[in-house]
Amino acid sequence: MSATRPKTRRPTIYDVAKLAGVSPSLVSLVLQSPARVSDKRREAVQAAISELGYRPSRAATTLASNRTKSIGLLIDDYRNPWFVDLLRGMEAVLSDLGYHVMLADSRPGANRVKDAADGLLALHVDALVIAAEPSESMLAESGVPTVVAGWRKGVPAGADLITNDDDGGGGMAAEHLLGLGHTRIGHLSGSDGASAHRREGFRRRIEEAGVELLIAESKGTSEEDGYASACWLLEKHPDTTAIFAANDTMALGAFAALKARGLKVPSDISVIGYDNSPLAKSKYLDITSVDNRSDLVGIDVANSLLARFENPAIEPQRTLIEPVLVVRSTTARAAC
């Protein structure tokens, strides 16, 4: 087999067919259902594809199958490491099946969430994963299989909800700090759905122990929010001996606030985060954190979508992923 690869344009399915000595329709069959083609012809087509450097047209495949093999993922802050594990879990299931994930960031702003979702739907994604607070207009059915990842204040009609057991995770954080003898405990929280569940689980266990909970709540959960909330907490309650942050990024902001006041972790104040993100796992920071198993959330999200592709009529599911506490060097017993 020999041919000169076109230099002035991308090779087409017709170039592949000519080089392989088969029809364009058979090339298409090899691309979509290779098992239905004899070994000899399939190998000839694959050799031609390799020699020409041919890449199938996604647009053409979409027209032929009425599917784009794309999943829209809507997030609310690309800086949050939680989304990295979520995406990794999704792709672990979807990539081998030929699906790709299209990401849209809907950082706070007028109609940003709706606009981002509309943008994904306009690209004719086969399904939508919402990992952000949905707008009121999104609470109706989107017209494609939809899964909500993580706790949100609302879930669109007909959508699955797959999330971490953040109430249980908050309780784990409280149990850990109480077990270390802390009784002046502060909590840095956000206003999103996940933060609310973590806060509630933490508050419930703290109050059961008869300990006052000191809460510093901010609108967001960024490093800057963590710094500002920790500054407020330490100013109002300087005798605080432990801080539970709604995520590892907020915990990083708390470290900066403590350093600015000459306080050391954990000898002066223990700090525990949430998500068990790469920040927490770094050897330098080594943050005690609740692992919410967001990679498993991503895997379950992908499997849920595949199930809905097979049977769109199945009832909406609610799935909780159990967290695990990972103890590292930022928490210690309360000073006597």
CA distance 268 to 333: 10
Q: How confident is the model at residue 6 (pLDDT cuts 50, 70, 90)?
A: very low
pLDDT value for 57: 63
**Which numeric CATH code is attached to 166-293?**
3.40.50.2300
In the chain, what are the domain boundaries? 13-64, 68-164+294-321, 166-293
CATH 3.30.450.70 corresponds to the domain 68-164+294-321: no
pLDDT in tens, 140-196: 767 889 999 988 878 888 899 999 999 999 999 999 999 999 999 999 999 888 899
Average pLDDT, the chain: 88
Residue 152 near residue 182, CB atoms below 8 Å:
no
pLDDT in tens, 53-109: 887 765 555 545 456 789 999 988 777 778 888 999 999 999 988 899 998 887 655
User: In what helix (H) or strand (E) does residue 148 lie, and over which residues does it extend?
Assistant: strand 146-149
> Six-digit token pair at 50?
């390799």
Give 1 or 242, the one with higher predicted confidence: 242
pLDDT value for 60: 54
Those residues with Cβ within 8 angstroms of residue 182's Cβ, 6 or more apart along the chain or in another chain: 241, 242, 270, 334
**Which numeric CATH code is attached to 13-64?**
1.10.260.40
> Six-digit token pair at 11?
């090779």
Torsion (CA) 16, 21, 22, 23 in degrees, nearest 10: 70
Residue 89 near residue 294, CB atoms below 8 Å:
yes
Give 312 or 78, the one with higher predicted confidence: 312
Q: Where are the beta strands (DSSP E) in 191-287?
A: 213-217, 242-245, 270-274
Q: Give how far Cα 109 sits from Cα of 4, 103, 115, 225, Å.
A: 53, 18, 10, 17
Q: Report the percent of the chain where pLDDT is more than 90.
A: 55
pLDDT at residue 220 tops 80: yes
User: Global pTM?
Assistant: 0.72
CA distance 5 to 21: 15
Asked whether the domain spanning 166-293 has the same topology as the one spanning 68-164+294-321, the reply is: yes
Tally of helices (H runs) and strands (E runs) in the chain: 12, 12
Among 99-108, 184-193, 202-211, 253-262, whose mean pLDDT is lowest? 99-108
Tokens 């950082």, residue located:
107
pLDDT value for 106: 75
- Phi, psi for 156 (deg, rounded to 5): -55, 150
Strand partners, 16: none
